[in-house]
Amino acid sequence: MTYTEAQVAAEKDRHGSWLAQQAGVMGTGIGLDGGGQPCIKVYTNRMPAVTKEAILAKLQGIPVDFEETGEFRAL
């Protein structure tokens, strides 16, 4: 199934608080996956495999792209 940017954004908003509480999640956003389709971007710093699996299970087919960025720091 292909999701619109609005559908992906709605799912990100719906699950945003839960995502922020997961081990290794530094932030979330909306972006494009490798195929150019809208997805939820999950920025991580060494996320455990079990956390990645839990996120994918919770989002039930919504496209997710994990990007290891390290910690975010305010300047």
Domain ranges of the chain: 5-68
Is residue 19 within a helix (H) or strand (E), and if so which, with residue range?
helix 5-20
Q: How many whole angstroms separate alpha carbon 51 and alpha carbon 75? A: 28
Supply the pTM of this predicted model. 0.87
Q: How many whole angstroms separate alpha carbon 39 and alpha carbon 8? A: 6
pLDDT in tens, 46-66: 889 999 999 999 999 999 999
pLDDT in tens, 24-48: 999 999 999 989 999 999 999 888 9
